[in-house]
């Protein structure tokens, strides 16, 4: 309770301007350098602490050339190899000596590098980060070593039924679009990667450019001072981004199904995946689908109470809406305790879809859920790292922070009729891929 009260007080102290413009409680400072590098600064109360995110708007989606998947994820590894000025071992030592917490991750739509540090180390952090983004340097042998490590990571991931399931769902649901492969890439491409040293240089030079990167700093930081420092370290970064030629996925006109056997032990997992909508913070259908997933399959839903709590036939049941630059998959997934129950559970899911198509949801339930989602978002914005982490995907998908306010405003405008319309349009058998995974032992 004390944390909630203090958080509400801190929001009130931010001033009326931010609150009137939307739900995001902090003032956002924006600047674009002459080389088109976007920079966002969000000062907040966090004495001495700063979180710095470098968001590359390239993920596995951008790997459109046949035979070359997995390179976005690969560069998450390679970026820690360093430069001639600061080799990987020097980079690691300097970060450790500063007590900085640094990491990275790759998604289908973007790659993100982030570091939390003390404000007095700002200049050193910008020196190191700007250098590796502009001057990454690695030998062919280092490239082969890292490619081998990625292959090992892939083989290790196969011990999880979820990895095998995801691979098969994507490969079955998509025919042309690059969402057809996972973030780590197709196995054959990963195995061939050690021989692609020259291509790796092209990939880096194509995508690691200022027009394709967004910098985000949150915490105890002065915007004008930060802009001055960023201009000094990033101002000479040369433009040269080449947009990927992403193939358009043809309309799916018939349902699909894939059966998967996992060699290890696991309870059966069933996924119903439906073609979704590209992320657009103003799209009422997207917001309606998002709320529908919670209303129909969340922990307070009828089907959850029946299958998880009362009858205990499934371990869990959940639904998620995709947030992607291009239309991806909305998924309903469950882990079933008895293989003989698979068809019956799928029927329960289908009946739930029919119910939400035919019967409007309660306006009161809808309003309560939209309000809950908004405050759940706000309650995780009390540290620089949390703020930057919550904004990263919004920025990667849209290039701006205002997508937050716009999307939550759209959520509040969803009506029961919008829910019905969205379910009818986007949760249809013709747009569906059913995946059933069973253990082989």
Q: CA nearest 277: which of 319, 331, 320, 328? A: 328
| Parent domain of 68 | 22-234
Q: Which structure tokens are listed for 440?
A: 């082989």
Distance CA 27, CA 352 (A): 42
Q: Are residue 263 and residue 388 in the same domain, yes or no?
A: yes
Residue count of the chain, please give it.
441
What pLDDT, on a 0 to 100 scale, did the predictor assign at position 5? 34
Q: CA nearest 328: which of 279, 289, 368? A: 279
- How many secondary structure helices (H) and strands (E) does the chain include? 17, 11
Q: Are residue 148 and residue 194 in the same domain, yes or no?
A: yes
In a domain, 401, yes or no: yes
Rounded to 10 degrees, the C-alpha dihedral 79/84/89/90 comes to: -110
Supply the DSSP symbol for 99: T
Which strands, in side-by-side order, build the sheet including 256-262? 256-262, 432-439, 269-275, 329-336, 314-320
Total tally of structural domains belonging to the chain? 2
What pLDDT, on a 0 to 100 scale, did the predictor assign at position 21? 60
In a domain, 7, yes or no: no
Q: Are residue 216 and residue 289 in the same domain, yes or no?
A: no
What pLDDT, on a 0 to 100 scale, did the predictor assign at position 350? 97
Helix (H, G, I), strand (E, B) or coil at 331: strand
Alpha helices in 99-242 (DSSP H): 122-135, 140-157, 161-173, 187-192, 197-207, 223-234
Q: Are residue 128 and residue 226 in the same domain, yes or no?
A: yes
In a domain, 2, yes or no: no
Distance CA 369, CA 301 (A): 12
In a domain, 3, yes or no: no
Q: Where are the beta strands (DSSP E) in 308-431?
A: 314-320, 329-336
In a domain, 13, yes or no: no
Q: Is 391 left (phi over 0), alpha (psi -120 to 50) or beta?
A: alpha
Distance CA 61, CA 246 (A): 8
Distance CA 278, CA 284 (A): 12
Q: Are residue 268 and residue 125 in the same domain, yes or no?
A: no
Q: Which structure tokens are listed for 173?
A: 């649901």
Distance CA 394, CA 381 (A): 15
What pLDDT, on a 0 to 100 scale, did the predictor assign at position 440? 78
Q: Are residue 282 and residue 215 in the same domain, yes or no?
A: no
Do residues 329 and 277 make contact, with C-beta atoms less than 8 angstroms apart? no
Q: Are residue 76 and residue 148 in the same domain, yes or no?
A: yes
Q: Which of 234, 266, 285 represents a domain boundary (last residue)?
A: 234
Distance CA 417, CA 363 (A): 10
Helix (H, G, I), strand (E, B) or coil at 95: helix
Do residues 399 and 241 make contact, with C-beta atoms less than 8 angstroms apart? no
Q: Are residue 155 and residue 209 in the same domain, yes or no?
A: yes
What pLDDT, on a 0 to 100 scale, did the predictor assign at position 14? 40
CATH number at residue 219: 3.30.830.10
Cβ neighbors of 77 (< 8 A, separation 6 or more) are 146, 149, 150
In a domain, 247, yes or no: no
Q: Which of 234, 269, 297 represents a domain boundary (last residue)?
A: 234
Q: Where are the beta strands (DSSP E) in 297-388?
A: 314-320, 329-336
Q: Which of 167, 202, 234 represents a domain boundary (last residue)?
A: 234
Q: Are residue 200 and residue 57 in the same domain, yes or no?
A: yes
Q: Are residue 225 and residue 366 in the same domain, yes or no?
A: no
Distance CA 411, CA 373 (A): 9
Task: Render each residue's pLDDT in the chain as its tens digit; 441 residues.
Answer: 333 333 333 443 343 334 346 899 999 999 999 999 999 999 999 999 999 999 999 999 999 999 999 999 999 999 999 999 999 999 999 999 999 999 999 999 999 999 999 999 999 999 999 999 999 999 999 999 999 999 999 999 999 999 999 999 999 999 999 999 999 999 999 999 999 999 999 999 999 999 999 999 999 999 999 999 999 999 999 999 999 999 999 999 999 999 999 999 999 999 999 999 999 999 999 999 999 999 999 999 999 999 999 999 999 999 999 999 999 999 999 999 999 999 999 999 999 999 999 999 999 999 999 999 999 999 999 999 999 999 999 999 999 999 999 999 999 999 999 999 999 999 999 999 999 999 976
Helix (H, G, I), strand (E, B) or coil at 214: strand
Do residues 65 and 196 make contact, with C-beta atoms less than 8 angstroms apart? no
What pLDDT, on a 0 to 100 scale, did the predictor assign at position 22? 85
What pLDDT, on a 0 to 100 scale, did the predictor assign at position 441? 60
Do residues 53 and 215 make contact, with C-beta atoms less than 8 angstroms apart? yes
Distance CA 101, CA 105 (A): 14
Residue identified by tokens 């997995």 is 70
In a domain, 17, yes or no: no
Q: Are residue 270 and residue 354 in the same domain, yes or no?
A: yes
In a domain, 46, yes or no: yes
* Residue 180: other Cβ atoms inside 10 A: 18
For residue 190, what are the CA distances in angstroms to 176, 179, 327, 328? Answer: 20, 16, 25, 23
Q: Which structure tokens are listed for 108?
A: 């289908």
Largest distance between two CA atoms of the chain? 65
Q: Are residue 208 and residue 304 in the same domain, yes or no?
A: no
């Amino acid at each position: 309770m004390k944390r909630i009260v203090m958080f509400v007080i801190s929001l009130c102290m931010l001033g009326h301007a931010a609150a009137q413009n939307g739900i995001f409680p902090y003032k956002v400072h924006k600047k674009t350098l002459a080389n088109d590098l976007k920079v966002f600064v969000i000062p907040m109360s966090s004495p001495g602490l700063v979180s710095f995110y470098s968001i590359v708007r390239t993920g596995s989606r951008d790997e459109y050339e046949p035979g070359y998947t997995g390179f976005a994820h690969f560069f998450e590894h390679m970026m820690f190899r360093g430069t001639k000025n600061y080799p990987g071992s020097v980079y690691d030592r300097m970060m450790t000596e500063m007590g900085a917490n640094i990491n990275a991750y790759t998604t289908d739509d973007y790659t993100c590098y982030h570091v939390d540090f003390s404000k007095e180390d700002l200049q050193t952090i910008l020196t190191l980060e700007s250098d590796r983004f502009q001057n990454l340097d690695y030998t062919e042998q280092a490239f082969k070593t890292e490619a081998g490590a990625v292959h090992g990571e892939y083989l290790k991931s196969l011990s999880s039924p979820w990895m095998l399931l995801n691979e098969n769902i994507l490969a079955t649901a998509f025919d042309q679009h690059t969402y057809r492969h996972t973030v780590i890439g197709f196995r054959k491409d990963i195995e061939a990667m050690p021989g692609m040293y020259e291509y790796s240089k092209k990939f880096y030079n194509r995508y690691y450019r200022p027009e394709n990167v967004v910098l985000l700093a949150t915490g105890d930081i002065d915007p004008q001072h930060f802009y001055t420092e960023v201009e000094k370290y990033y101002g000479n970064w040369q433009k040269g981004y080449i947009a990927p030629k992403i193939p358009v996925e043809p309309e799916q006109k018939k349902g699909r199904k894939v059966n998967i056997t996992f060699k290890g032990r696991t309870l059966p997992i069933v996924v119903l995946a439906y073609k979704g909508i590209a992320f657009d913070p103003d799209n009422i259908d997207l917001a309606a689908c998002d709320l529908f997933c919670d209303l129909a399959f969340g922990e307070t839903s009828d089907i959850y109470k029946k299958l998880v709590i009362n009858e205990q036939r499934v371990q869990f049941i959940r639904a998620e809406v995709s947030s992607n630059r291009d239309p991806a998959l909305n998924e309903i997934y469950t882990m079933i305790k008895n293989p003989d129950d698979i068809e019956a559970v799928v029927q329960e899911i289908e009946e739930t879809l029919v119910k939400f198509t035919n019967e409007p949801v309660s306006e009161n339930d809808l309003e309560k859920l939209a309000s809950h989602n908004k405050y759940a978002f706000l309650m995780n914005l009390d540290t620089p790292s949390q703020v930057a982490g919550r904004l990263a995907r919004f920025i990667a998908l849209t290039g701006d922070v205002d997508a937050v306010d716009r999307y939550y405003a759209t959520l509040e405008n969803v009506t029961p009729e919008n829910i019905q319309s969205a379910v009818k349009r986007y949760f249809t058998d013709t747009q569906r891929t059913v995946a059933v995974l069973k253990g082989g032992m």
